[in-house]
Amino acid sequence: MQNNYLGQFSKPAGRENGSVLLVSLIMLLLLTLVAVGGMQGTILQERMTGNLRDRDLAFEAAEAALRDGEQSLEPNVPISFPGSNGLYRIGANNRPDWPADPADSGNGVMTYSGTLPGVSAQPRYYIEQIDTIVPPGCDLSSYCEPVYYRITAVGAGGSGNTNSVITTVYRTK
């Protein structure tokens, strides 16, 4: 007598149920759902990173305009306040209202003297003379040239929708 080992593992003579096919299709569907969810998360993170880069670019542009405004005050302080070229008295009604409208030019603004690559518009700034602060060594009976100025700048990012407005108070030497 000969043992037939192959006979012990042979398929039954009946019809197959097809459950393996159904289970593998369900597993494939689940893997597809996980992959689509992962792709959507990656796309969202990519958009957030792009927006963060755009915001940082707008902030850096506004900061460059602030430094430009400080440098314009340093060699010779403009005497003609207010002026039509971005020089205002503090709280003037005709100055730009950049928090509400970054495109507002008021009664005049100054544009950054250099060129910044990658921004949708070159940054702009205006300077306000602050009269309310009395410099040390001055009294109210004599006239003293004010030495405090508020510089406000607006910078645009890579898209026209991203803007950053920053302000600093500057004292000349």
The confidence band for 36, taking pLDDT boundaries of 50, 70 and 90, is very high
Q: What are phi and psi of 152, to 5 degrees?
A: -120, 130
Higher pLDDT, 155 or 107: 155
- Residue 65 and residue 123 in contact, taking contact as beta carbons nearer than 8 Å: yes
Q: What is the mean pLDDT of the chain?
A: 82
Please check the confidence at residue 68 and state whether its pLDDT lies above 70. Answer: yes
pLDDT of residue 24: 92
Candidate from 9-23, 36-50, 130-144 with smallest mean pLDDT: 130-144
Which CA distances in Å does 122 have to 53, 76, 92, 115, 119? 17, 24, 24, 7, 7
Q: What single letter denotes the amino acid at residue 94?
A: N
Please check the confidence at residue 152 and state whether its pLDDT lies above 60. Answer: yes
Query: Percentage of the chain surpassing pLDDT 90?
Result: 41
> Mean pLDDT highest for which of 39-53, 75-89, 99-113?
39-53
- Residue 157 and residue 120 in contact, taking contact as beta carbons nearer than 8 Å: yes
pLDDT of residue 166: 95
- d(CA 53, CA 46) in angstroms, rounded, equals 11
- d(CA 114, CA 50) in angstroms, rounded, equals 25
In the block, which residue shows the tokens 């205002």? Answer: 88
Q: How far apart are the first and last CA of the chain?
A: 114
pLDDT of residue 133: 58
